[in-house]
Amino acid sequence: MTLRSTLDFLLYDWLGAEALTARTRFADHSRETFDAVLDTCERIAREKYAPFNRTVDTEEPHFDGEKVILPQATYEARKAYAESGLLSAAQDYEIGGMQLPYTVEAAANSFFAVASISIGSNLLTSGNANLLMAHGTALQKEVFALNEFNGRWSGTMCLSEPQAGSSLSDVATRAVPDGAGFESDPLGPRYRLTGNKMWISSGDHELTENIVHLVLAKIPGPDGKLVPGTKGISLFIVPKKMVDAQGQLTGVRNDVALAGLNHKLGWRGTTNTLLNFGEGRFPVDGQAGAVGYLVGQPGKGLHCMFHMMNEARIGIGMAATMLGLAGYYASLDYAKNRPQGRPVQGPKEAAGASAVVKDVAQPQVRIIEHADVKRMLLAQKSYGEGALALNLFCAKLVDEQHTGDAAAADEARLLLEVLTPIAKSWPSEFCLEANSLAIQIHGGYGYTRDFPVEQYWRDNRLNMIHEGTHGIQAMDLLGRKVLMEGGRGLQLLAGRINATIERAIQVPALAAHANALGAALQQVGAATKAAWATGQPADALANAVPYMQAFGHTVLAWVWLDLALATLADDAALAQAASVGRMGAMRYFFHYELPKIGAWLHVVSTRDATCASFPEDAF
Amino acid sequence: MTLRSTLDFLLYDWLGAEALTARTRFADHSRETFDAVLDTCERIAREKYAPFNRTVDTEEPHFDGEKVILPQATYEARKAYAESGLLSAAQDYEIGGMQLPYTVEAAANSFFAVASISIGSNLLTSGNANLLMAHGTALQKEVFALNEFNGRWSGTMCLSEPQAGSSLSDVATRAVPDGAGFESDPLGPRYRLTGNKMWISSGDHELTENIVHLVLAKIPGPDGKLVPGTKGISLFIVPKKMVDAQGQLTGVRNDVALAGLNHKLGWRGTTNTLLNFGEGRFPVDGQAGAVGYLVGQPGKGLHCMFHMMNEARIGIGMAATMLGLAGYYASLDYAKNRPQGRPVQGPKEAAGASAVVKDVAQPQVRIIEHADVKRMLLAQKSYGEGALALNLFCAKLVDEQHTGDAAAADEARLLLEVLTPIAKSWPSEFCLEANSLAIQIHGGYGYTRDFPVEQYWRDNRLNMIHEGTHGIQAMDLLGRKVLMEGGRGLQLLAGRINATIERAIQVPALAAHANALGAALQQVGAATKAAWATGQPADALANAVPYMQAFGHTVLAWVWLDLALATLADDAALAQAASVGRMGAMRYFFHYELPKIGAWLHVVSTRDATCASFPEDAF
């Protein structure tokens, strides 16, 4: 199946995205306008992204002492993306946006991700500007957000520091008021920032006229000390080049300096940087310190940042998913065309030597005819299409949260809280495994750089690390999300899963799977209780990752069962290859994947302390 | 633990390698001589290999039109290795060998593999020469094998072709008699070869004066056609440069030309080539066709090659294992030194928000104090040390096969047949996973090329592909090895496993694990029967890979239980960190890993046809 036909099924037949047009915000839209956006993105991705995916891998960003050098293709890809209007897809018409549902925006962005994940970092710019629209002043929106939406400037998120990656409590970047009258700068209360920010994607380049850094930093207390923990963190706009209240560059460089480019395993099209803020290399008004404008309230920086967290994490989940699907499409194509070997023949001899008899007088068959190659393709299909469905489901919850009635919006919010760690972590882990299978199908050729699959695998390895590591997603899930509001989020999800089970159990072809899912859900519920039976986080969370793996597989089994129901609902389409394929992928997931949860939950349920209690000197 | 201390335990405390010195062939050896070899190799690897592992990754081999250019470090590493005598470690004293047990040789080579897997390809040279010692004529041994053992020349194995990777039946390289009197060449019956050989490691370079290619090719029948299948395959010595019967270069280049270097994902220190044989670029005596000397009987080429198969596959298993351990050591070091985050505190609040409370007033802890990091370290330890134990166990079986009494030798041979697919495939899969965990522990830093772990992961990805892919190992295991000789190999292995179980069940600390292993063994046995219940290979082998994964995990659980018995046997050492560590790794394997076999065997036992019957157009 093509990506487009898969998206069509998921958006329209499964998620009923067309119904969103009944809502006031999306009233001017129709399936036709949604499709037009998808068409445009598919075309741009095909023309400006896909042909250059290897280029941006081999022509890694480098710094010539003055500027960061990127391939020409990166400039052209960015220009085409900005011209598509996707940067402000979700925004109001009155500021030039499309008022597009996030569901459709996410689907549209999938074309770029599958074509070249690292050539663009547009989601960062959108996310940055969206955050300013939610928390900025009117002028901050007009000067900064709007110039990001229109493509003139780009944006970054500066959270991590060399000594504070996962642990944001330990952010040490300082922000001090910039002299008398600092509060009355039209662009916002004006501070001077000093500190180092690590892992900043697109932190320096010449792709745009200016770069808008959103920076987490701490304002020292009266004693001059930083407040420990995340409560002391504030959020600042720090432009690379100073601008006036009309959004014009003043010609003055802000005190933000590129300290180094990170040389990565993959995802090489996107510059990743260490930035020094306020080291004095570019003094403003004769003074060291990067000029930053406070966004929102002091001490509420993480709150502002986390406002965008669900969408950012869905974005990572989508990135991992699309890399998984890219490898699937590449290996499917290879498997259909590569002749190698012959099918095994039977029956085996009564005793003795090899049972693997092959008729070498026959020509070789294409490798897609081998059962094990089909297994590796089906695993990729079930991972990739399942992950895509889950992420679009979460995207739809975002729309529900923003445009649904109060009850539906609240329910969507809470479901998102529980599902986001899965939407981010599950594709990061299993679509990476899919990429490994894509290499395996290619054999020796897959290990060469003449085929794209090794790059997908390298690119995808990042997704378990950035935007909250796998371990952090797992702590978030088992330590916060399944507990919050008295466990109501987990109950909501269970309610949704049970609703699918109740429908599926009445369908003969699905009844056994419905029962298997019911049993899995019970196991997850029991394991959650058992993990917390002592009330000690150290006991419960010692096996948070295996818990998340089992939770994720259960969620994906639910997604596949629900997709099967939607497939069976269309009698006319049932004989079509796409329907046959979805039903097969669903069966694959239930037969080969869901049974894995037993081993993962075993250690959770017993609060196994083998790892937690292992003494350091015994490693 | 250091690699050396782990090897000491495995070799002497577990495998009883010292007892080998009671055998005539090894009678001049002692633990002291074994240790001296290990000391030398450890030192050379530390000095000549480890410092240049990144160098050979970044300074990839390239062809300047005349010669293949390699870093200087590669020359020096090779020279030091050759001078160590390891190339002929297993050979007789009379030809300059050490008469070293293969067990010790394998352990000694592990130091090079952990330091830099790709800087040297010495195992290929040894394997090539060993094969000639087994199947060559006296002069072939003297001219070719001895000059490989002494380091003057190097060797390759030329099996695959662009259209025949896994399917050797389809080898199309032709060998025709080289004129009248071709049979009477002192170096062996002389043929002219034409064809292309793909994936040839160290196929061209200037590291040695000459390169001895061992080439599979087919001699056409009277009708001029090649015999289909593997029966038509013969083996030839094809030197890069022509030599006389005294082993001197004649100054004539043979008709073997480098057609291209493969640019790989990893393992970049070793040149990998496409070679054209007989294209006429270097005519010998005015005539196109690479000159090759027949080894052994015509049509018995694969038989000769497969003679070395077990050791070659153990070599790959060791390579994968040592990369796994290299990542383990690197991430352990990082985890001990990197401060980040704080432990979770309890007890959780009765209801509501996050249960993950951390005291931010405290300094950060080192990440090795986090349970999930310990889990990732323990997984690596259990994979890497377990795989090392298994491979050394197999190496000991090789010694048993060569120097044991008739019954023991036969038993060793058969056990090796069954265990070799596991020794090769299991580390390739799970030590690759270990490398991914090593990256994860490093966080963002692990994704950069400033740390070694991303390279280990890339290097290791090859091992599931070369020397028989994962799928081929699985077909070999379930399609041949567990059936051969009426299933006697499987019975032998089961007998060994049951012997361990019987000892362990009497030890209170191990009884539960012994029972778990007993149950696993029964499951594997039942699944083997169920897979073959219809007698149809297509049914049985459709899920050969999941079968191999379960079989492998069961074998590793047995290895770990047996290691635990050896650990407990030494009362005095029980309190030592090394012993505590092994017992913990064993528990990890039984609690976290062994339960995974249920899901894998489920599809084997039901002969699940979801993949095999999936229609091509439904993907």
Q: What's the confidence (pLDDT) of residue B354? A: 54
Q: Which residues of A touch B485 (CB under 8 A)?
A: 352
Q: Quick: pLDDT tens for A390-411.
A: 999 999 999 999 999 999 999 9
Contact A616 B336 (CB under 8 A): yes
Asked if A467 is an active-site residue, the reply is yes
B356 contacts A480? CB cut-off 8 A: yes
Is B341 within 8 Å of A167 when comparing Cβ atoms?
yes
Report pLDDT for B308: 82
Q: Report CB contact under 8 Å: B169, A360.
A: yes
Q: Which residue of B has its CA nearest to A374?
A: B611
Q: Is A221 on the interface with B (CB under 8 A)?
A: no
Q: Is A134 on the interface with B (CB under 8 A)?
A: no
* pLDDT > 80? residue B73: yes
Q: What is the pLDDT of residue B309?
A: 84
Q: How much is the pLDDT for A284?
A: 98
Is residue B619 within 8 angstroms of chain A, CB to CB? yes
Taking the C-alpha atoms of residue A174 and residue A185, their distance in angstroms, rounded to an integer, is: 19
What mean pLDDT is predicted for residues B283-310?
A: 94
The nearest CA of chain B is from the CA of A384 a distance in Å of 12
Give me the residue from B167, B264, B606 closest to A447, CB to CB: B264
Q: Would you say residue A349 has pLDDT above 80? A: no
Q: Is the pLDDT of residue A451 over 80?
A: yes
Residue A103 pLDDT grade (very low, low, confident, very high; cuts 50, 70, 90): very high
Sequence-separated (6 or more) residues with CB below 8 Å from residue B587: A610, B513
Mean pLDDT of the region A458-478: 97
B433-492 per-position pLDDT tens digit = 999 999 999 999 999 999 999 999 999 999 999 999 999 999 999 999 999 999 999 999
Q: Which of A1, A341, A432 sits opposite B166 (nearest CB)?
A: A341
The C-alpha atoms of residue B477 and residue B470 are separated, in whole angstroms, by: 11
Q: How many whole angstroms separate alpha carbon A537 and alpha carbon A612?
A: 12
User: Which of A163, A465, A611 to probe the B interface (max B CBs under 10 A)?
Assistant: A611
More confident site: B319 or A356: B319
Q: Which of A476, A619, A64, A572 is nearest to B368 (CA)?
A: A619
pLDDT band at A307 (very low <50, low <70, confident <90, very high): confident
Helix, strand or coil, per DSSP, at residue A268? coil
Task: Please give, rounded to a whole number of angstroms, the shortest distance from the CA of A374 to a CA of chain B.
Answer: 6
Of A374, A591, A599, the CB nearest to B612: A374
Task: Write the residue in B170, B371, B537 that is nearest to A346 by C-beta.
Answer: B537
Is A612's pLDDT higher than 70?
A: yes
Query: In this model, does residue B349 exceed pLDDT 70?
Result: no
**Residue B361: pLDDT over 90:** no
What does the mean pLDDT of chain B come to?
96
- Phi and psi at residue A21, to the nearest 5°: -65, -10
Domains of chain B: 1-120 (1.10.540.10), 153-299 (2.40.110.20), 300-344+362-468 (1.20.140.10), 474-611 (no CATH)
Q: d(Cα A125, Cα A210) in Å, to the nearest integer?
A: 12
A227 touches B: beta carbon within 8 Å: no
Chain B residue whose CA is closest to A481: B354
Task: Write down the pLDDT at residue A198.
Answer: 97
> Is B446's Cβ below 8 Å from some Cβ in A?
yes
pLDDT tens for residues A47-67? 999 999 999 999 999 999 999
Strand partners, B261: B273
Q: Does B299 touch chain A (CB under 8 A)?
A: no
Q: In angstroms, what CA-CA distances link A456 with A113, A256, A371, A446?
A: 11, 33, 24, 11
Residues of chain A positioned with their CB less than 8 A from the CB of B480? 353-356
Summarize pLDDT for A156-175 with one digit per residue, the tens. 999 999 998 889 989 999 99
pLDDT at A361: 81
Comparing B169 with B250, which gets the higher pLDDT? B250
* C-alpha–C-alpha distance, residues A62 and A271, integer Å: 9
- Work out the percent of chain A whose per-residue pLDDT is above 90: 92
Size of chain B, expressed as the number of residues it contains: 619
* Residue B352 banded pLDDT, cuts 50, 70, 90: very low
Mean pLDDT of B149-163: 96
B503 contact A CB<8A: no
Give the count of alpha carbons within 13 A of A521, CB side only: 23
Site from A230, A262, A356 to mutate, B interface, most B CB atoms within 10 angstroms:
A356
Name the residue in chain B with its Cα closest to that of A336. Answer: B616
Q: In whole angstroms, what is the distance from residue B186 CA to residue B137 CA?
A: 10
Q: Chain A closest CA to B144's CA: distance in Å?
A: 29
Q: Which residues in chain A have their CB less than 8 angstroms from residue B352's CB?
A: 483-486
Q: Residue A10, class by beta-carbon neighbours within 10 Å (0-12 exposed, 13-18 middle, 19+ buried)? A: buried
Among A371, A581, A611, the residue with its CB nearest the CB of B612 is A371
pLDDT of A354 > 60? The answer is: no
In this prediction, residue B17 carries a pLDDT of: 98
Q: How does pLDDT run across A113-149, given as a tens digit for each residue?
A: 999 999 998 999 999 999 999 999 999 999 999 999 9
Compare CB distances from A447 to B343, B461, B598 and report the shortest one's residue: B461
Please, which residues bridge with residue B290 across strands? B193
Compare all CA atoms of chain B with the CA of A435 and give the residue at the minimum distance.
B461
Q: Calculate ∠ Cα B294-B298-B299, nearest 5°.
A: 130
Selecting from B346, B372, B581 the residue whose C-beta is nearest the C-beta of A544 gives B372
A484, A535, A536 member nearest B353 (Cβ): A484
B22-36 pLDDT per residue, tens: 999 999 999 999 999
pLDDT at residue B397, as a whole number: 97
Residue range B274-292: average pLDDT? 98
- pLDDT reported for residue B81: 97
List all residues of chain A from 349 to 378 with a beta carbon under 8 Å from chain B. Answer: 351-358, 360-361, 364, 368-375, 377-378
Of B167, B432, B611, the CB nearest to A378: B611
Contacts of A434 in chain B (CB under 8 A): none
pLDDT of B380 over the 60 cut: yes
A346 pLDDT band (50/70/90 cuts)? low
- What distance in Å separates the CA atoms of residue B616 and residue B619, rounded to the nearest whole number? 6
The whole-number pLDDT of residue B606 equals 98
Residues 6+ away with beta carbon under 8 Å from A177? A183, A189, A190, A191, A192, A219
Q: How confident is the model at residue B351 (pLDDT cuts 50, 70, 90)?
A: very low
Q: Which residue of A has its CA nearest to B600?
A: A592
The answer to whether the CB atoms of B440 and A465 lie below 8 A apart is: yes
- Chain B touched by A491 (CB under 8 Å): no
pLDDT of the residue at B344: 78
Tens of pLDDT along A16-53? 999 999 999 999 999 999 999 999 999 999 999 999 99
Contact B440 A464 (CB under 8 A): yes
- Span B90-106, mean pLDDT? 96
Q: Who contacts B333 (Cβ-Cβ below 8 Å, separation ≥6)?
A: none
The DSSP code sequence of A491-513 is: HHHHHHHHHHHHHHTTSTTTHHH
Please check the confidence at residue A353 and state whether its pLDDT lies above 60.
no
Instruction: Give the active site residue among A311, A411, A467, A593.
Output: A467
pLDDT of residue B347: 54
Q: What is the pTM of this model?
A: 0.97
Least confident range of A361-365, A598-602, B506-510: A361-365
pLDDT of residue B231: 86
Q: How confident is the model at residue B98 (pLDDT cuts 50, 70, 90)?
A: very high
- Tell if the CB–CB gap between B599 and A595 is shorter than 8 Å: yes
State the smallest CA–CA distance between residue B351 and chain A in angstroms: 6
Q: Using the predicted structure, report yes or no on whether residue A357 has a pLDDT greater than 80.
A: no
Q: Do A360 and B229 touch (CB under 8 A)?
A: yes
Chain B residues with beta carbon closer than 8 angstroms to that of A598: 595, 598-599
**pLDDT for A434:** 98
What is the pLDDT, as a whole number, of residue A358? 74
Cβ–Cβ under 8 Å, residues A49 and A119: yes
Chain A residues touching B471 at Cβ < 8 A: 370, 372-373, 440
**Pick the residue with more confidence: A308 or A40?**
A40
Smallest CA–CA distance, residue A148 to chain B, in Å, is 27
Cis amide prior to A347 (ω within 30 degrees):
yes
Separation of CA A423 from chain center: 8
Chain A residues whose beta carbon lies within 8 Å of the beta carbon of residue B372: 471, 474-475, 542, 544-545, 611
Distance of alpha carbon A551 from alpha carbon A390, whole angstroms: 13
